[in-house]
Structure formats: structure tokens, C-alpha cells
A and B are shown apart, each in its own frame.
Chain A
């Protein structure tokens, strides 16, 4: 029997039971759609974050933070003894003037700057916003983050007055576009000092010197849309501290050997009490985190496809029993067992192909709907972290790679065929005499 006739016969059998075949196909559609939607969204999300990180911070920087063995623990031989998280356990504190020590460690280090940050508020007579108050050296910060620490209005002074502040785009503007503060405006900033007895709000009057350009939703050490920036000296005074949260180190170049060497020197210098991490490492970690998330999500989606497969098997067995006599007729007419097998597998191939194609299309549509919902601001995703809290919108463009496309297609058809193997084999093994006698 010719291949097209085998498929023609399979198709005529499917057409006979449209509803049943439709429901079976629906199982495949849902499974494939889930896989495609999840994969293309996570892929898109990963792209968005990676791009934002890559543009948000220079690859030739390291972030030094207290706490050995936390984020960058793998980089100094797994010394977990020095306090696992944020250095709190050991009592180690990173100081603002540790930058001087770091600067002298290697000729590959061009400069380093301390960053102090606290949660706080910014107030004008009409508006109040929650924000993160960050103290940095404006000139050096601008030097390191030359593409993102850029003003949209006003100017970033190299030698700022004590009461200068620079505010991030997202602090300044609501999502609906309402502008809250303008460059040149006098505002007040305050923070809740929990170390004072009793805890009290400390505040001082400032002058908005500049509003930053939009950076993007994520930052790691670098400028963030939801932060406000004050001079480092003011910060030390205002927060009454000589400690800093992180030190950003700018390197002469961004090759891995330089990064590794400098990381080792810094970690050794502070006896494993700090961790130093490069943006490359952050990207790598992020990449592996995404791989795990992706695997997990796809695993869940795959289970739904597995259920669809069992559905196919069930339907095929029912169909096989119903068509026992028909199979007997076909065999009496001289059809070979392998052709009977091919007819049954053909049915599952048709169901698999239709299911996979519709599933991929539906998954893609779903991914775009979800992405649109996320991007439109219906859901705001904020990320927080010691190295640079930020909150903002995710603009995700779902990505459907050829690999995902082909993989989903192959998986859909594959599952359909695999689960049809047993019923098809049973059909092919029916004895013509018995099959013909079947009522």
C-alpha cells in the first residue's frame, strides 16, 4: 500500500470520530502550548534581563561586598567560614576608606568607589515616595557608569554641594507619566534610623540637581531608576557611618584572567571576609538560574503532554477494539500486518502533527499575551538586593527559537507516536479469522 494511501486511510478513520479525535488532539495542543509559552517567555525574560544587565553595568567592574562565601563564594575556594550571608555572622564591615586599600592592590585596578545605601523617602510639599538613598562619589560613578549615570534634565556635578541629590527616572515619574519632582526643586529626604534609641526619622533638605535618564528595570551595583543619589560625604554624615554596603572596582580590562586575579587579591586581602563578583559572573549565575527555572517549567508542561499521550493510547485502544472487524476485513483483503501498524501509527502522527502545530501557534499567542500583560504594567515586578535595589516594569519580547519550535514539534509528534505504538502493534497482531468473527 502506498504511503499516501496509508495516510488517507488513517485520516478517514480520524474523520469518522471528529469529536473524539478533537479532544485527543486538544490534549496535545495544551501540552505543546504550555511548553512553547513557558519556554518563549522565560527565553524572552532572560534576554531582557541579560540585555539590561549588560547595558546597565560595565563588564570591566567588580562588586565587592562583605560576606565570604555568599554570592561569589565559588571564587575563593569555597571558604564558607567567614559568614555566609552579608557578613553579618562575623561582624565584618566594609568601610568607605577600604577603597584606598583596594586601589593599591593591583595595577589592573583603575579605581574603586564605595557605595552606601539605605531605604528612605523623598518628600516635596505635594509628593512622597519610597526610595533607596545611595551615597556615591558622583565623578567616579559617572566615570564607571558612563552610559547609564547620565542626566536627562539638569546636570550631574563632579564636585557636588552637600545638599545635592540626583534622582532616578522611576522615582521622579509615576507609571502613568505624572512627573513628581523636577530638576531645581527643593525636596526633603529622610530615613528611619533604627540604631538610634528610640528609632527616629532623620531628614535634611536637599536640592534636585539632575534627573537621570531611564536605565532599565535591573541594576547590579550600577545606577537604578528607583534610587536617589547623594554625595558620599553627605551620606556618611547623614547616615552617621563609615561603613559602606559595596565597593565597585573598575578594572583596566575585562578579560577573565584579569578578573580572576583581581578577585583573588581582593578576597585574600580581606581574609575571605568579602566576596568580589564580576558582572560576567552575575550573568553566568543568572544564566544557570534561568536554565533551572526553564527545566522546571518545561518539566511541568511535559507532564501535561504525558497525560495527553496516555489519552492518545486510551483512545487508540478503544478505537482498536471498535475496529476489530474492520481490521479483519483489511487483512482478509490482503493487507500486511505492518500496513495495519502503519495505519494506526498514521492516525497518531496526524493527531500529533495537528496538535503540535496548533499548540505551537497557541503557545506563541499565549506568550505574547502574557508578555503584553507584564509590559503594560498590570503586574509590577520588583527586585531587591544588597547590591542595588530596583523596581520596574518588565518589557519581555517572547522568543521562539528554531530549536524550541522544532523541539516542541518533535516532542508532540513523538509522544503521540510512542503512545500509539502499543495499540498499533496489537491491531497489527490481530488474527484475521478471529477479527472477522468479532461483533
Chain B
């Protein structure tokens, strides 16, 4: 039986890795000095993964994060995000692609003048969702991250952990292909960090959300199913469930 081309493409897209980097290189200029931040990274992230990218500062992990988040373009090599080749995309298309990525930042990056529900709603409004629908969806998301009773609070009225929960709810808003987290617990106390990491684990295990987390914290990285070590712009080890690959 012949499978129609459209459906076949969808199946292929579904089965294809969410992120695939082949010999990925990124060089940027620090003043007049070229810095090779990534020197040939090969990485595949499958749907349902919980991946920690572990590396010291200056290892190139932030550069990798920016590339995977479609915030920047590679200098050389191939990077496929959700089967889109990032190098070939135009500015507008990159914007569209970013909506398939759920960004969670170390410093939360919420809009200070918006309440929790409006911060989550912002992501939906950028995607073009109407007001009523937005409100409903934002409520659901805030409930998911355990902030049901803090919806009308502005970031300044929330603790660090609560702010990060809002940020996670915002990142999940548009049903992204994966959550991309940059030191998600780097700016909160260890007890709250525990809660956040349990929330993230729950999202991965119960809802099947793919997670890519960038950190320099070994303890945090150990919570992930898979740890990729990056050093000096190349991947030095890739361990899945404690087993080297």
C-alpha cells in the first residue's frame, strides 16, 4: 500500500531527531579576534529525551544553546531543528521556528509589567492566539506548573522559584517540540531548585516533553537521562542512563 506523500512526510518528521547537528561550527568575533566557540559538534536529540549539556564556562555551551534555540546561525556545518535547516532560513522563518522552542532562561526573563498570566499569554499572543483562548490556556499552564493561586501577581511579587515556574509555563505555551533551558536553577536556592527540577522531570516523564538543559552544575546534570559533556567547543562525552554511547 502506498502511503500518501504528505502523511509519509509527517511520519518522517515525527521520527526524525528533534535536533540534529552535524559538524557544527560557530566562530564569532570578540573585537577583532575570531573566537571558535564550536569546533565541530555532532549531536542528535530524539523526541522524549532529557538531555543535559554539561560544560564549564567558555566551553561553548551557551553558543550551542543559542544555535539550538534558533537565536543565531552556525558558521559552518548543518543544524536541523525539527527538520528545518537553520542555515537556510530567513529572519522571519527563524522567528517562526523559535515558537517551536520553549526557552527557559537562567534569569527568568519575564516582562516585569505583566502579571504571571499575561507573561504566559504573551507567548500565545505572539503566536496569534485570541484573548479569551489565551487566558484559558495560560490558566491551564500555570496550574500545570503549580501556580494556580499566583496568576495575577507580577514577577516582582513572586519568588525566584515561582518566577521560573511562570517562565516554564510560558515556554510550554505553544506546545514546543522541546524545552531549551539555560541554567534553569542557576539563580534560585537549592530547595526551590529541587522543586523546579522535579517539575521538569515530571514534564519529561509524564507528558513526554523533550528537554535540553544547559548547565555547568554536575549535580543538576545528573538528573537528566542523558549527559553530554562539552569542552573547548567539542563534545567530549555522551552518556545515556549512566552508559557511555
Which A residues form the contact surface with B (CB < 8 A)?
1-2, 5, 9, 12-13, 15-16, 325-326, 328-339, 431-433, 436
Contact = CB atoms under 8 A, between A and B. Distances in A.
Nearest to A326: B111
B152 to A, nearest CB: 15
A337 B113 CA distance: 22
Nearest to B102: A333
Given A1-B128, A334-B97, 8 more contacts: A2-B125, A12-B114, A332-B109, A333-B98, A334-B96, A334-B123, A338-B92, A433-B72
Contacts of B92: 336-338
B103 A330 contact: no
A432 B126 contact: no
B71 A1 contact: no
A337 B91 contact: yes
B34 interface: no
A333 B122 contact: yes
Nearest to B72: A433
Given A433-B71, A433-B72, A333 B113 contact: no
Interface in B60-79: 66, 69, 71-72
B210 interface: no
Contacts of B130: 2
B111 A334 contact: no
Contact of A334 (B72, B98, B109): B98
A150 B103 CA distance: 88
A170 B128 CA distance: 72
Nearest to B173: A333
B218 interface: no
A339 B126 CA distance: 9
Interface string B116-131: 0000001101111011
18 contacts: A1-B128, A2-B130, A5-B125, A9-B125, A15-B113, A16-B113, A326-B111, A328-B109, A331-B95, A332-B69, A332-B98, A332-B109, A333-B170, A334-B97, A337-B91, A432-B71, A433-B71, A436-B71
B164 interface: no
Given A2-B130, A326-B111, A339-B126, A334 B174 contact: yes
B216 interface: no
Contact of B111 (A5, A329, A332, A433): A329
Contacts, number: 67
Given A1-B128, A333-B126, A325 B95 contact: no
B84 to A, nearest CB: 13
Interface of B: 66, 69, 71-72, 91-92, 95-99, 101, 103, 105, 109, 111, 113-114, 122-123, 125-128, 130-131, 170, 174
A333 B99 contact: yes
A13 B112 CA distance: 11
Contacts of B174: 334
A1 B126 CA distance: 5
Nearest to A340: B95
Contacts of B170: 333
A433 B125 contact: no
Contacts of A329: 109, 111
Contacts of A9: 122, 125
A120 to B, nearest CB: 76
A220 B155 CA distance: 75
Nearest to A439: B107
Given A16-B113, A325-B109, A332 B103 contact: yes
Residue with the greatest number of chain B CB neighbours at <10 A, chosen from A333, A335, A339, A431: A333
Contacts of A330: 122, 126
B125 A1 contact: yes
A1 B134 CA distance: 12
B125 A331 contact: no
Contacts of B125: 1-2, 5, 9
B98 A2 contact: no
A338 B90 CA distance: 13
Contacts of A332: 69, 71, 98, 103, 109
Contacts of A1: 125-126, 128
Contacts of B105: 436
Nearest to B130: A2
A18 to B, nearest CB: 12
A337 B96 CA distance: 11
B196 to A, nearest CB: 19
A322 to B, nearest CB: 12
A9 to B, nearest CB: 8
A12 B113 CA distance: 8
A146 B144 CA distance: 91
A436 B95 contact: no
A336 B96 CA distance: 8
Given A2-B128, A326-B111, A433-B71, A334 B91 contact: no
Contacts of B101: 334
A3 to B, nearest CB: 11
Nearest to A432: B71
Contacts of A338: 92
Nearest to A13: B113
A112 to B, nearest CB: 79
A206 B122 CA distance: 90
A156 B65 CA distance: 101
Contact of B127 (A13, A334, A337): A334
A338 B125 CA distance: 15
B168 to A, nearest CB: 13
Contacts of A2: 125, 128, 130
A335 B126 contact: yes
A9 B96 CA distance: 19
A402 B66 CA distance: 54
A418 B195 CA distance: 50
Contacts of A15: 113
Contacts of A337: 91-92, 95
Contact of A333 (B123, B128, B131): B123
B83 to A, nearest CB: 17
A329 B98 CA distance: 11
A197 B113 CA distance: 89
Q: In the A-B complex, list the 6 residue pairs whose CB atoms are closest, starting with the nearest.
A: A334-B99, A334-B98, A336-B95, A432-B71, A5-B125, A329-B109
A23 B191 CA distance: 47
